[in-house]
Amino acid sequence: MHRAQRREPVTVEVTPGTRVTERWIPVERVGLYVPGGRVAYPSSVVMNVVPAQEAGVGSLALASPPQAEFGGLPHPVILAACALLGVDEVYAAGGAQAIAMFAHGTSSCPAVDVVTGPGNIYVTAAKRLLRGLVGVDAEAGPTEVAILADDTADPAHVAADLIAQAEHDPMAACLLVTPSTELLDAVEAELGKQVPVTRHRERVQTALTGQGVVAVVDDVDAGLVVVDAWAAEHLEIQTVDAAAVAARVRNAGAVFVGTWAPVSLGDYLAGSNHVLPTGGTARHSSGLSVSAFQRQVHVVECDRDALTEVASRVAALGGAEDLIAHVDAVEVRLR
């Protein structure tokens, strides 16, 4: 999937003798953040590293929180994933301080050009503050899911997917949007069965109690209005004609269509990227991809005849803006 995102140069002859080439150039150095406060995320190593490598980035640095039980190093599964992917610059640093390290640089870690990766509210706040000093991807964290489901949805599946998202973080947000009170009752019953037996039930219960929301709507059309307004990181569509409904979604980090495409699949093996915009930023931001590690550069070429052809129009525009030196810079070439 990420290899398919590579962009080739495109050249357009705008007029005879004038060519503009769009080039995609990788940034020189990136800082990749992999969270590790409550659990280890080797999948986030993959999701950060692979698009950077496919983009052609030459220098990759990765940071993940130190673990007391492993001598202050990042979790062994993080280090193993790095080794498998050929990443040999790894820092035991977590939270806002890791993002600051990447942005400002230290005596042992040169500053980077772009910082990517999911994290908690402190990581997200640090990325927001440092945007501009370095490029950043979308604000990815804390995590969230919205599920738009009608009475054809399997309540056990819906409940399991809410629990799976709540398992990430006590601040994980879970939204169920449905026109069916019967489904809602069935999902609540399933949660009553599944939550007590899940491994991280305390964390799940905290998230669902504090950040869980139900929206009962008139129909699926009204449900689409709700989920578009929330612009969730993950959106599941479990309705009749799920693909047709999904095609109408405008705002979401990633959309999972039908009962056989849970968010868990996208987290690990679907081929999509799980570093996605949260907190409503899916209205204007996208998930991590190869383009996050590249810059678009326009290369302009023009010969004398082509410049002569457009000189009068350049003069008209420059005169309208009272930027006469712009006009002179063209005319001096044609004398």
Q: Residue 270 burial by CB count (10 A; 0-12/13-18/19+): exposed, middle or buried? A: middle
Amino acid 138: pLDDT: 82
Read off the pLDDT of each residue in 237-243 and give the average, rounded to a whole number.
99
pLDDT tens, 207-220? 999 999 999 999 99
Amino acid 181: pLDDT: 98
DSSP 201-247: HHHHHHHHHHHEEEEE-SSHHHHHHHHHHHT-SEEEEESTTHHHHHT
Domain with CATH 3.40.50.1980 in the chain: 3-137+287-296, 144-277
**How far is the CA of 88 from the CAs of 32, 56, 63, 65, 132, in angstroms?**
12, 16, 11, 16, 27
Q: Whole-number mean pLDDT of the chain?
A: 97
Buried b (16+ CB within 10 A) or exposed e, 118-145: bbbebbbebbeebeeebbbbbbbbbbbb
Instruction: Report how far Cα 168 is from the mean position of its chain's Cα atoms.
Output: 17
pLDDT tens, 121-174? 999 999 999 999 999 998 887 899 999 999 999 999 999 999 999 999 999 999
Q: What is the largest CA-CA distance in the chain?
A: 85
Q: Domain 144-277 belongs to what topology?
A: Rossmann fold (3.40.50)
pLDDT tens, 260-278? 999 999 999 999 999 999 9
Instruction: Report how far Cα 26 is from the mean position of its chain's Cα atoms.
Output: 18
Find, among 79, 32, 35, 41, the residue nearest to 60 by Cα: 32
The percent of residues in the chain predicted with pLDDT above 70, rounded, is 100
Read off the pLDDT of each residue in 252-258 and give the average, rounded to a whole number.
98
Ramachandran class of 247: left when φ > 0, alpha when ψ lies in -120 to 50, beta otherwise:
alpha
Helix, strand, or coil (residue 71): coil
Q: Tell me if 61 sits within 8 A of 112, measured CB to CB.
A: yes
The percent of residues in the chain predicted with pLDDT above 90, rounded, is 96
Q: Tell me if 145 sits within 8 A of 175, measured CB to CB.
A: yes
| Contacts of residue 239, Cβ cutoff 8 Å, sequence gap at least 6 | 148, 149, 150, 152, 153, 220, 245
Q: pLDDT band at residue 37, thresholds of 50, 70 and 90? A: confident
Q: Is the pLDDT at 245 greater than 90, yes or no? A: yes
Other Cβ atoms closer than 10 A to 188:
13
Read off the pLDDT of each residue in 66-91 and give the average, rounded to a whole number.
97
Q: Tell me if 268 sits within 8 A of 280, measured CB to CB.
A: no
Read off the pLDDT of each residue in 304-329 and give the average, rounded to a whole number.
98
Q: What is the spatial distance between Cα 67 and Cα 93, in angstroms, rounded to a whole number?
A: 10
Residues marked as catalytic: 233-234
Q: Is the pLDDT at 59 greater than 90, yes or no? A: yes
| Contacts of residue 235, Cβ cutoff 8 Å, sequence gap at least 6 | 145, 146, 147, 148, 227, 249, 252, 253, 254, 255, 256
Task: List residues bridging with 90 in a β-sheet.
Answer: 62
Q: What is the spatial distance between Cα 210 and Cα 82, in angstroms, rounded to a whole number?
A: 35
Amino acid 141: pLDDT: 74
Q: pLDDT band at residue 236, thresholds of 50, 70 and 90? A: very high
Q: pLDDT band at residue 118, thresholds of 50, 70 and 90? A: very high
Q: Residue 72 burial by CB count (10 A; 0-12/13-18/19+): exposed, middle or buried? A: exposed
pLDDT tens, 296-312? 999 999 999 999 999 99
Amino acid 142: pLDDT: 86
Q: What is the spatial distance between Cα 268 and Cα 313, in angstroms, rounded to a whole number?
A: 54
263 CB-side CA count, 13 A: 30
User: Tokens in use for 199?
Assistant: 């491994």
Q: Which CATH class is domain 3-137+287-296?
A: alpha beta
Helix, strand, or coil (residue 129): helix
pTM of the model: 0.91
